[in-house]
Every structure is written in structure tokens, then in C-alpha cells.
Chains A and B, each alone.
Chain A
Amino acid sequence: MLPHASLRLLASLTPAALALAASLAPTLAEANGRLTATTESGDVGELDLLEERLTINIDRQYADTTLRQVYSNHSESRLEGRYTLQAGEGAKVHGFSYWNGDDRIVGEVLENSTATEIYEEVTGLGGDPGLLTESGEGAFTFRVFPIEPGEDKPVEVDYHRRLERSGDRVLASFPLAEPAANATITLHDERGITDLESTSHNLDIKRIDAEHIEVRTKTPKGKPTELDLSWTIGQPAFTLDTAIHRDKGQDGYMLLTLATPDVAPSTKRIGKDVTLVLDISGSMAGPPLDQAKLAAIDVLGRLSSEDRVNVVLFDDGVDKLYNTPRAVKDSTRKDAIDFVKKAHDNGGTNIALALKESLAAQTRDDKPDVILFLTDGQSDSQETLEVAADDKGDARVFTIGVGDGVERPLLSRLASTKRGRFTFIESPEAITRKMEKLYDTIETPMMVDLELSAKGATVTRIYPQSLPDLYASDELVIAARVRGDGPTTITLTGRRGGKLETFETTLNVPKVNQRPWVGRTWAEARTDDLLEEIALAGETEELVEETTELALAYNIVTPYTAFLAIPASELTEGASETLAQARERKSKILAANPDAAALSRDIMPPGDPILSVRAPASAQQVTAYFPFGLVEDLVWDEAREMWTTRFLVPKGVEDGAYDVKVVVVDKNGAVKMSTVPYTIDSEAPDFEVELEVTDSGVRVLAKADPELGVLREAVVALVDDPTVRIDLTLHRGEFTGELKLPPGMHRVRVVVTDDARNEKSREIEVEVK
């Protein structure tokens, strides 16, 4: 998929340059909005930062930031830049651009097929479009090219994040490249804002009223790498609060929050049973296991005499230190640490078995049961999740994934199902910090067994789907859709200190309210859930279609969409046309959203795609008019909250672009129309193939004829024994791979497939010596 291809591109194009850059330039962790550059000959060039400006709008705890920087190339060389931004955990980029002279090159999110086609066409001709990728938690990079000698290069990134709340304080930090960066911040919060301060900068504060403040930075205090702000909001802990966004005539979006207080020093500590489950399977071999053991030992060192402890090691079998957790004292702590230290990687992975046995080994008394699961998650997802779902105990499962190979969807879903949390530890250096934070969390449960209900308007599509327990200095954030209007009571119940507590808020759901970030928050939560579902249960056309549509509407980078910026001057005629079509389609989605209609496939051979239309459930009529004379009334699908139908494209329909017209008649009789474009493509792709005999077989390279579209897959197989085959991998627009063959004459068959699943094959004879 495109982002991975891009990462490989970066690595293969300028490995020497990157290595040089890494040795001389700031590391990623320090490179907060940094543009490092290399010359065409591979040397590191100099870029001065001339200007840095942040414009930050904060509504409640949603911070929308535009970071603008201007770099200057004082060298005499043409440079290629790599811009890196560490925006912070939870931050997401929704826009980026740079300037070539007076031309602003704006990044846009496109479907992968479109982005791939354009990217390959441009790079194939030696161009270098900007491609934004997520390179770590809250870290983003993109390439900037060219940076001419003497040029001043502006770069702009838009990103957003929900700010953390601790008790009644809101904490905000924004990365800076230069301590003296200019920042203007506009704060708005109807809960009231007081005690605004900064540890990093002196501030010029202008209070408009109790709910609005405008701030400018003055001089930095020392040499900060971030702009830190904090303020108090006038809302006590344990207040159930809501924020709504609603467009006229459409279902609304709701954000529901409840914050817990900081833990008081006098709070009595509650002992708990802690079971550490450590994955020692073969997939953990090397640094992942070493890091997991460090994390486990860190936890064991934090346990107190009020706790009980057990350790479980697993691969395709399970090895328990004790049958059930035992009281922590010097001897048991030592036993546990020794047990962890001597663990070594072994065979296969059976997370389900380990989970089942760990859950069964709980004492089930008054002590809270906590299971910390350290694993890379590479195991049977469905079986693991079934074990979690079947377990009726109260144990909380916290999953901890260490290193790059972590199966995040499984670990996230497992933690969510068992009301725990998922912690991702990206590097050994982060273990101590992350485990400390996790352990502090586990130490201070504030409210458990949360449940949500609503009377009045209907609240649906709630994320997270399982409500987590709340700890000290924590905040519950729920995103949901809301249907209907008028007085609505939202009720949240949970157990605090063993007693059932109820929190309620009543609001008048408005017919219209503009708070777009609420919609965006829901869309991101929904997208994350869809991606998790796809990862766990496989792709369906509907899941992919909805993910793609949300990603296009809200500029979200997913495995199906890519963020691309290309100067118009670098576009060929073909690429320009492709881009224009993609923009037209996207603008229809944006204009019609949330009425957005989409087909499960928009490039198809004759077959049976599904047409889905987002329109209110109360609509009187949703009807689709197809160009081949078919008229179909759509039916409301309660589970998807969309109107759907399916249809067969007749065999004789010629290849080409078509529109489906959709009419929506709402409950009041108002009529809206939209169109959904689709393409019939039954033409087989064509391709070039090159074979290169190697010592052990044949290396195959296949690439598409650009006149006939983009290839999606390629495979090569031995004609006499098709079980001898490999799937070729995409790299810079070409499919490559090596098929292992013994010496002798062979006949191989290369098959390529395009996006509409049209295929073409070619057989070639080759002699391996």
C-alpha cells in the first residue's frame, strides 16, 4: 500500500544521506517541526529557520493548531528536504502544505488507488511529490522538494488533538523548533477559564470574558522545546458534560465527558492481585522479548506488600509461577523476577490459551484482579477475543505491546473488551515512563462498571463500545451519533468505592449547532474502530467503503487513503485528469456529507456492488436511478444506519464512467439529490515483465502499461507446479520478487490484476543454471 512503499522509497533512495542526516541532525524525538535536507550528491545541507509561528484555536479541550515555519537555503545547492513533526501523542495531522515560490502546494487526502497512480507516474518521471506518513505515535514526516539555492521555503502543518485534563486543570503542550516562536492562542470554554499560566513562556493575556481568552507568547523562559500552557476550568470533577455538532436536517454528533479528580495523598491504597503474562513465543525473539522482560521487571519492582503477584509465561503452552497470585514479599518478588529473567523465546503463540488460563487463575475475592499482558499479539485474533467475551469474571486486562511488530488491533480490542487499557511502548527508552504511567493508573481506580443510557433523542454508534474503568486524574470521553431532538437525559452509572453512583445531564438537543470538531472526533473514533474490525475480521467491501469515505471527508490517513502534495507543474496530463476526477468525487462526498452516498466499489466489472446512502432514518424515500434504466428504492439498514440496496450491472454495459442519481425525500417532503460516480472497467491490464536469473531462481519484475491503468497485484507461479509461486511486492510502481527454482528449464506464468480485478497473464521460459 502506498505509505509503506513511500517508507521503502525513503530508505532506498538516500540511505547514505539519511544516515548522515541522522548523525548530524536532531533525532526524531527532538525534531519538533524540523526540516532536514540533503543535496543531490547526498551531503547534508544547511537550512536556517527564519520564522516560526503557531496559531492555536482551543474550543473546550480541542486544540486546532497551524504551525507555519519558513526555512532558508543559504547553500548553493538544490536540496531535498524531509520535514518531521513530533506533534505529540494523540495528535493527528489534517493538513499540510509547502510553497514553491509563490505556488502553494497543498496536501490532500486521496484514495490509495488514485494516490498510487499519481505518485508512480510522477516519480517514474523523476518527480518527487510530497507524501505525508505517520512515522510513529503522533509523529509525521513528509518530503519537500525542491528547495532551490537561496530560496526561502515556507512549510505549514495543521494538526489537532484533544487536550488532557487532570482534575480541573487542562494541560496543553505544542512542539516548537525555536524557543522564541510566535504563538497566538485563542481559548474558548463555556465552563469558564481561570489561572492560565505557562512554564515555558511569558505570556501576554487578554481576557475577553469569563469564557474567552486571547494569548500571545512573549519571551521564552530558558530554551523550551515546547509551548506549555495550563489553566483551570470551572467544572468540578464527576460532572457529566456534553458537546454537540449538528447540521440542519441531519443526525447530530455528541461528545460526552466525565473527569475524575486527582488522587488525594490521604487516599488509602487498595491492594490488588497482579498477574503478569509474558509472551515468550518465537515471534518475540530478540529485542521485543528483552524489552518486554524489562517492562515486566519494572512492574514487579513497583508492587507493594498489599498486593499479590503471579507470573505466567506462554508460547504455545502455558507455564505459571504459581497456581494463583501470592502475597508480595521479598521472596515472592525475587521468585517472580527470576522467573521472568530466565524466560527465553520458544515456539508458537497461543494467546487464547494463555488468556484463558490467566483468567481462570484469579482468586476472585474482594481484591481487584489485574492482568498485565505483554505480547506482540501475533496470534489467532478470533479465538482470543472469544475467550475474553466468554469470561464472566471481573478481571481487568491491560495489554502492553512493545516494539514495531505489535498487532495493535487485537491488543486494543482485547483491552477494551476486558475494560482495561492498551499501552504501546515504541522503544526501550520509553518503557520506564510508560510503565510508570500505567502503574499509577492501575493504582487508583475511581469508578468501574460504567454503563450509559439515554432518554429522549436516540444515542447510537457509541465509541468506545465498551466503557473503560476510570482512574484518578482521568477523563471519560465518549463520541456518539444522536438522532432526534428536544429534551434528552443522558445517564451514566458506575461503581465508586463499591457503591453504585449515577450521573445525569439533561440537554435540549438542538436542530443545528456548529462545533465541527465534535463530528471529526466521532469520525476518527469510527475510523479507528473500522480499521480494527478490518484487521481482526477481514475486509468487506462495506467496511472498506465506509472507512475510505470517512477518511476522504475528514482528511484521515488510513491504509486506504494517502496524503499527497504535488506541484501542478509536475503533473502529466494523465495524472492531472486522474487528480481532477478524484477531486470531483471527493467534493461530492464533502458536499453531500453526511448525506454522502457511496458504492461499495466504484471501479468494477459487471457484478453486484452495494449502494449505501447516508440519510436520516426518518426519510420518506431514498431512490437510486441507474443509467441503464434500473430504479431501486433503498431500505433503511438499522445496523449500519444507512439506506442500502444492491444491484447487478448488466453484462452488456460498456466500459466507462457513469453516475447513479440518488433522491432523498425527508420526512417533511424536502428533496435532495446527489450523484454517485462509478466506472465500469472490464478491460484486461497490460504489463511489461522482465526476468533475471539468479543463483537460486529467477527475479521477476512486472510493471503496468500506464495507458491501461494501475496494477493492484501480481503473482508468478511455476506452470508445471503452481504451488511453487510467490506474490510479488510493490515497490515504486513495480512488482518484484524472486521465485526459487532448481537448475534447469522452467516455464513460469506471471499474472497481474488491476483494481477492477481484471487479469492478464504471460508465460515465459527461463533456464536456471
Chain B
Amino acid sequence: MFAGLLTLALAAPVADAPSFELATLHTSTAHVDDLATDGKLVWAGTRGGLEVYDVATGTLQRRFDTRHGLDTAHVWSVDLSNGQARVRTTASECVLRDTTFDCTAAAGAPAMEPTVGPRRDGHRVTAIVNAGTQRFEATAGSGLWIGGETPRRLTADDQPCSNHIGPMLTDGERLWLGAFHEGLCFTDDGRTFTHASEGPRMINDLTSIDGVLWIAATEGLFRTTDGITFEREASIKPRGVNGLARDGDMLLVTTPGALWTVPLGKGRTKAQSRPGRTRAIQGLVHTTDATWLTTEDRGVVRVATSGDTTRFDLAAGLPASWFLAAAADNQGNIVAGSLRNGVTVLEPDGSHHQVGGLPDTWIFDVTRIADTIFVGTQNGAAAIQGEHVTTLPDIPHPNVHGFAEYRGQLWVATEGGLAVYDTDS
């Protein structure tokens, strides 16, 4: 079990690097880019993999994703000519051989020319094929449909709400997922997903305090207790809320131009405008003695409880001033990920060093789970535990945006779906 391994690691020096094995992959096939049919089966190229449906019954027969040789789950073209299934993904041409695909590098999707066509369920229809007596309609966002007088949707509706999830939060039995576009969704069993469609859309961070889920979204700061009704926090007027952390009975919130303290009980919201003279805060992490802000323009800004600020940026000798995410490790260090200059560890004495061995220097996310720091990059994910830097295998998409522990497994949010790992191999 994941937690068990880490407990063992605390008791004794770590001898071996942790191992990760992909257990399952969850994707959304709601965005369908192309269809093809051989009369008996309809093949749907989606942003969450390739699905095959039976024409006669409309039931899903097979699904292919990165576990079946595809280099990425985004299939934008399907071709069945010559009796062979041939698909195009964003970087490859892949041919189905028996049950897996062989992929060779090819040009990605061309720049699409704007088109206007019919709509289904409020979404663009991207492709239509006729097979048997049925008309199959592919949509951008509502899956595959059978058209006609009584249209019906074929794509399952219990999938994740997006293939591009960012922040994730385990809250008791529930895992909350914040999508880049589509808003909030959750799972209570790790297999089926529900879209909290009434909530805000572009989610940047999540935190749960005393039964209340707080949501940092581009539209503002929201809260919910049930995932059905949402309330906007009126005291935070600016948009672009991008970071959340708890400090005792206060909620710390960041927008690009300010660090806010929102009382969780009575009291008044306060703001520290442009701390460290930054105009572009990206997120925050809070420790017992300070709040650390990652910024686009001032590096990592340490905000002491007195309000005094210290900048850790290129002028201070760090490799850059553009940092996206940070976490505090169990040694009192701040581990900060930059846009394109890797991960910097800021030590309590003010010194700093770079983390080597990461799959990429373009960083999206830094998350701490127990004693492990996970790093999401633009070329995969890695786990940092003590001296070990372990690249996670079988990542479905190179862009990795978030991590969470849920039901004893490691969930990794990428732009090609949710990868779930066991840490026992």
C-alpha cells in the first residue's frame, strides 16, 4: 500500500527508490474528433482514446488508449481503408496490429480551418457517418450520438469531466478533480465520476476545511458543501483566484495582484496588495513561519507574518524569476517549480540548489504527499524522495498537472487523462 511503503521509509533510511506501476487510466471520450465505419462497427477517435461501438446495438466494444500502444490518447483521425485501423494522434500515425497499436512519428494535427455545422445537445457536430440504418454523430463535448428522430447518446456519462485535470483533493471518501476548462467533478469509488456542473469552470486550486470545499477558479473564489450548490466568496472581488492554503482559522487566497486572508469564522477579509511588488502571483504554500508565493515576475516571494517580504528570483541567484508551483518538504525546504528552469530547493538558511534527474525542466506542478515530492513537468512526472528522483512510467500524456493519493493509490492528472498507480510492483 502506498502509505505503508512511506511509513517504512520514515522508520529507516530509504535504500531503494519507490516504484510505480500504472494500474488504470481514466479518460473522457466526450470530445470526438472523427468517425469511421466498416458497416458493423463505428470507430470514434476522441481526445480520450479510440472507442469502437457496435452498429446494431450501439454498445461499446473496445477502447484503446496509451495502454494499447497509442502514444497519446488524443486521436483526431480514423481511417479504416484497406481493412486496417489506422489512426493519427497528435504526434504519430498508429496502426492497429491485433490488439495493440504500432506508432511512428508523424506530423501532428494540422491547423483546422474554421467550419460551421450542425449541433447536437448544444455541442458542435464534428463528424457524421451512416452505418446500417443508423446515423452516428460525433460531437465536441457531448460524446457519440445516434441521430434521427429519437437521438440517444452512446458515450458513457460517468467518465471524468475532462482529460485535462489540474488540482485534485482527497476529502474523506471523495476525490475532487478540478478541470482546466470544464469545472469540477468528483468520484466516490474511484471508477465512476460525477460532473458538478453548477460550479465554476476553470479550476486552479482546491482545499477542504471543516466540510467546506473551497475552489480557486478563474471566475473567483467559491465554496460548496455538497458539490451541487456553490456560493461565491463576495469579499474576494478580483478574478483569477489561483492559490489556497489554510493558516489556523484563516484561509489564505492568492489572486495575481494580492495575498488575501479570509476569516473562516467571523471577521473581515484583508488583502496585502502586490507583496514583494509582484503583479503576477501564481500560487502559494504556507508554512508555520511564512507564506511562500510563486510568481511570474518576482520568483518565490517569502511573506513573513509581519508582512515583510523577501524575493528569491534571478537577481538573487535562482535560475529564473518565473515560478508556477511550490511545496514544503519534510526538511523545512521549499521546493519550487519554475516555468522552464527546473525545480529549485530553497533551504531554511537561504541557500538553494537545483534538483537533477527530472524528466524535463519545464515544470507545471509540485505537490507533496507524505514524504514524497511529486513534480509534474512538460515531459512526464517524477517522484522525489530523499536522494531518489524516480520518473513515473507509462504517463499517458507528457504534460502533468497534479497529484493526489486516493484509496491507497497515486492519482496523476495529465492532459491525456488520469493515470492511477500502485506503488507495489
A residues whose Cβ falls under 8 Å from a Cβ of B: 380-383, 386, 390, 533-534, 537-543, 605-607, 610, 620-621, 623, 625-629, 631-633, 635, 637, 639-640, 645-646, 648, 651, 661, 663, 665, 671, 673, 713, 715-717, 719, 722-723, 725, 727, 749, 751, 753, 757, 759, 761
- B108 interface residue, CB < 8 Å from A? yes
Q: Which of the candidate stretches B11-19, B94-102, B316-324, B328-336 sits at the interface with the other chain?
A: B316-324
Q: A383-B268, A625-B113, A651-B362 are in contact. List 17 more A-B contacts (CB 8 A).
A: A537-B258, A538-B258, A540-B255, A540-B256, A540-B257, A606-B362, A631-B140, A633-B140, A635-B201, A637-B219, A661-B114, A673-B114, A722-B312, A749-B314, A757-B321, A757-B322, A761-B314
Residues from chain A with Cβ under 8 Å of B322 in the complex: 757, 759
Residues on B with C-beta less than 8 A from A625 are: 111-114
Q: Which residues of B contact A713 (CB under 8 A)?
A: 297
Contact A651 B256 (CB under 8 A): no
**B123 close to A633 (CB less than 8 A):** yes
Contacts of A648 in B (CB 8 A): 399, 415
Distance, CA A623 to CA B141, complexed state (A): 13
Closest A residue to B110 using CB positions: A629
B109 and A629 contact, CB distance less than 8 A: yes
Question: In the complex, which of the residues B116, B141, B218, B273 contacts A610, with contact meaning CB atoms closer than 8 Å?
Answer: B218
B130 interfacial by beta-carbon distance below 8 Å: no
- Determine whether the beta carbon of B124 is less than 8 Å from that of A621: yes
> How far does the Cβ of A760 sit from chain B's closest Cβ, in whole Å?
9
Tell me if B63 counts as interface (CB < 8 A to partner A).
no
Contact at B297–A753, with CB atoms within 8 Å? yes
Contacts known (A633-B141, A651-B362); A627 close to B111, Cβ less than 8 A:
yes
**B111 with A626: CB separation less than 8 A:** yes
* Contact A390-B268, Cβ < 8 Å, known A538-B257, A542-B240: yes
Interface centre among B76, B119, B181, B237 (most CB of A within 10 A): B181
* 23 A-B contact pairs sorted by A residue (CB < 8 Å): A381-B271, A386-B268, A538-B257, A538-B274, A540-B239, A540-B256, A542-B239, A610-B218, A625-B112, A625-B113, A629-B110, A629-B111, A631-B112, A633-B141, A648-B399, A648-B415, A661-B114, A663-B116, A713-B297, A715-B315, A722-B316, A725-B311, A751-B321
Given A539-B279, A719-B317, A759-B321, also A386-B114 (CB < 8 A): no
Decide yes or no: A749 and B124 within 8 Å by CB, A542-B240, A645-B181 being known contacts. no
Main secondary structure of the interface of B (DSSP, over half): loop
Return the chain B residue nearest A719 by Cβ.
B317
B245 interfacial by beta-carbon distance below 8 Å = no
What chain A residues lie within 8 Å of B201 (beta carbons)? 635
Contacts of B320 in A (CB 8 A): 759
Interface-centre pick from B108, B201, B235, B238 (highest chain A CB count, 10 A): B238
A540-B273 contact in complex given A648-B399, A757-B297, C-beta closer than 8 Å: no
Closest residue of chain B to A748 (Cβ to Cβ) is B315
B170 within 8 A of A: no
Q: How far is the CA of A486 from the CA of B246 in the complex (A)?
A: 51
B123 cross-chain contacts in A, Cβ below 8 A: 633
Q: A607-B339, A621-B124 are in contact. Are A716 and B315 (CB under 8 A)?
A: yes
A633 adjacent to B124 (CB under 8 Å):
yes
CB <8 Å contact, B114 and A722: no
The answer to whether A722 touches B315, judged by C-beta atoms less than 8 angstroms apart, is yes
A633–B258 CA distance with the chains assembled, in angstroms = 31
Q: Report chain A residues within 8 Å CB of B415.
A: 648
B314 touches A751 (CB 8 A): yes
Instruction: Report the bound CA distance from A719 to B315 in whole Å.
Output: 8
Residues of B within 8 A of A639 (CB): 219-220, 239
Q: Are A621 and B116 touching (Cβ within 8 A)? A: yes
Chain B hits for A633, CB < 8 A: 123-124, 140-141
Q: How far is the CA of A3 from the CA of B180 in the complex (A)?
A: 38
Kindly state whether residue B269 has any CB partner on chain A within 8 Å. Answer: yes
If A605-B339, A633-B124 touch, does A537 touch B255 (CB 8 Å cutoff)? yes
Chain A neighbourhood of B113, CB < 8 A: 625
Chain B residues near A761: list those with CB within 8 A: 314-315
CA distance A719 to B317 in the complex (A): 7
Residue B390, interface by CB 8 Å: no
Which chain A residue has the least Cβ–Cβ distance from B180?
A646
**B234 and chain A: residue at smallest CB distance:** A389
B191 within 8 A of A: no
Please name the residue on chain B nearest to A387 by beta carbon: B268
The reply to whether B218 and A646 form a contact with Cβ atoms under 8 Å apart is: yes
B310 at the interface (CB under 8 A from A): yes
Q: Does B301 contact A (CB under 8 A)?
A: no
A381 touches which of B110, B255, B273, B316 (Cβ 8 Å): B273
Docked Cα-Cα span, A619 to B128, in Å, equals: 23
Residue of B nearest to A627 (CB): B111
* Alpha-carbon separation in the docked complex, A626 to B316 (Å): 37
Q: How far is the CB of A272 from chain B (nearest CB, A)?
A: 29
Q: How far is the CB of B332 from chain A (nearest CB, A)?
A: 20
Determine whether the beta carbon of B238 is less than 8 Å from that of A646.
no
Q: How far is the CA of A671 from the CA of B269 in the complex (A)?
A: 46
A622 CB to closest chain B CB (Å) equals 11
* Cα separation A632 to B201 with both chains bound (whole Å): 14
Instruction: Decide: B90 and A629 in contact? CB cutoff 8 A.
Output: yes
Interface residue B62 (Cβ < 8 Å from any Cβ of A): no
Return chain A residues, CB-CB under 8 Å to B240: 540-542
A623 to B115, CA, bound (A): 9
**In chain B, residues 384-422, which have Cβ atoms closer than 8 Å to a Cβ of chain A?**
399, 415
Cα distance, A98 to B296, chains bound together (Å): 42
* Inter-subunit contact B399/A538 (CB<8 Å): no
* B358 close to chain A: CB less than 8 A: no
**B319 CB, min distance to chain A CBs, angstroms:** 10
Q: Is B135 among interface residues, defined by CB-CB distance under 8 A?
A: no
Q: How far is the CB of B352 from chain A (nearest CB, A)?
A: 11
Name A717's closest neighbour in chain B (CB-CB). B315
Nearest B residue to A607, CB-CB:
B339
Is the Cβ of A383 less than 8 Å from the Cβ of B315? no
Closest 4 CB pairs of A and B: A538-B257, A629-B109, A722-B316, A382-B271
Q: A600 — nearest CB in chain B belongs to which residue?
A: B240
- The distance from the CB of B120 to the nearest CB of chain A, in whole angstroms, is 12
Contacts of B296 in A (CB 8 A): 757
Which of the listed residues B90, B180, B314, B322 has the most CB atoms from chain A within 10 Å of its own CB? B314
Nearest-Cβ distance from residue B243 to partner chain A, whole angstroms = 14
Determine if B159 is an interface residue (Cβ-Cβ < 8 Å).
no
B202 at the interface (CB under 8 A from A): yes
**A646 neighbours in B (Cβ, 8 Å):** 180-181, 202, 218
Write the B172-216 contact mask toward A (1 if CB under 8 angstroms, else 0). Answer: 000000001100000000000000000001100000000000000
Query: Which of A539, A606, A621 meets B257, CB within 8 Å?
Result: A539
Min C-beta distance of B36 to chain A, whole Å:
19
**With an 8 A cutoff between CB atoms, is B277 at the interface?**
yes
Interface centre among B113, B123, B316 (most CB of A within 10 A): B316
Taking CB atoms, residues of chain A closer than 8 Å to B124 are 621, 623, 633
**Which chain B residues lie closer than 8 Å to A626 at the CB level?**
111
B285-322: CB near A (< 8 Å → 1, else 0) gives 00000000000110000000000001111111100111
Docked-complex contact B237 and A537, CB < 8 angstroms: yes
Judged by a CB distance under 8 angstroms, whether B378 is at the interface is yes
User: Could you give, for residues 262-290 of chain B, a 1 whenever the CB lies within 8 Å of some chain A CB and a 0 otherwise?
Assistant: 00000011110110010110000000000
A560 → B minimal CB distance (Å): 12
Q: Are A753 and B181 in touch, CB under 8 angstroms?
A: no
Contact, CB under 8 Å: B202 / A538:
no
Instruction: Tell me if B119 and A538 are in contact (CB < 8 A).
Output: no
Cross-chain contact A725 with B270 (CB below 8 angstroms): no
Report whether B378 and A651 are in contact in the complex, using a CB–CB cutoff of 8 Å.
Answer: yes
In contact, B119 and A621 (Cβ under 8 angstroms) = yes
Bound CA span A635–B183, Å: 12
| CA distance in complex: A539, B258 (Å) | 9
**A749 touching B317 in the complex, CB below 8 Å, given contacts A610-B218, A621-B124, A629-B90:** yes
Q: Is the CB of B269 within 8 A of A386?
A: yes
Note all chain B residues with C-beta closer than 8 A to A717.
Answer: 315-316
Residues of chain B with a CB closer than 8 A to A723's CB: 310
Contacts of B256 in A (CB 8 A): 538-541
